Amino acid sequence: MTRHDDHTACSGDCITRRSALLRGAGVITGTVLLCSIPGCEDSEPIPVQVTRHPGKLIGTLSALNVDEPVAFAYPDDSANTTSMLVRLGVPAGGGIGPDKDVVAFNMACPHMGGALFYAYRAEEKAVGPCPNHLTAFDLLRHGMVIAGHATASLPQVLLELDGDDVYAVGLIGLIYGHHCNPDT
Ligand code: FES
């Protein structure tokens, strides 16, 4: 897969990652089918906010080991932009790479901003419980809430590959503490 390939197999009026990214900078609100979740091809569309940001090199595919998260800041270094790149070892919604298992998420809890980076749970492929109010998030399903106080999914960082290089190129969802995602 290259930086310009779709990674979803959506049909109908959903916005694929590529179509969203090709619409230019700024906030793009649309409907994204969660059809990139293995086994959930018949899911109903779920409205989400997709924002495009300048591409940022955040790592290389060959350097990623299963269940060893890597921290990065995206889309800038402002508050709550610490994010996590991880190879899950199993296919995930929005995953890239030959096994579609490399994903990235913002690590500020969408409930009240709890720091989640050190709460990765390898066995469950999840993040949580949040140290503040115990919400946990499913990294296989676009960061959806498993249990807890949060009502929004963990913001997912859109990824693209250019050879071995992994780029962050956008966000699904809103980073906690921001009226709009930084740099939009
Ligand atoms: S801040 Fe994470 S559950 Fe409240």
pLDDT tens digits, one per residue of 3-44:
433 333 333 333 344 444 434 444 455 555 554 555 556 666
Summarised one tens digit per residue, pLDDT across range 167-182 is 999 999 999 999 888 8
Choice among 4, 7, 53, 133 that is catalytic: 133
Give the Å distance between the CA of 128 and the centre of ligand 1.
10
Question: Catalytic site residue 111?
Answer: yes
Report the separation in Å between the CA atom of 172 and the middle of ligand 1, taken as the mean of its atom positions.
19
Q: Which residues of 3-32 are buried (b: 16+ CB within 10 A; e: fewer)?
A: beeebbebeeebbbbeebbeeeeeebebeb
pTM value is 0.82
Architecture of domain 53-172: 3-layer Sandwich (2.102)
pLDDT tens per residue across span 116-151: 988 999 999 999 999 999 999 999 999 999 999 999
Nearest CA to ligand 1 atom 4: 133
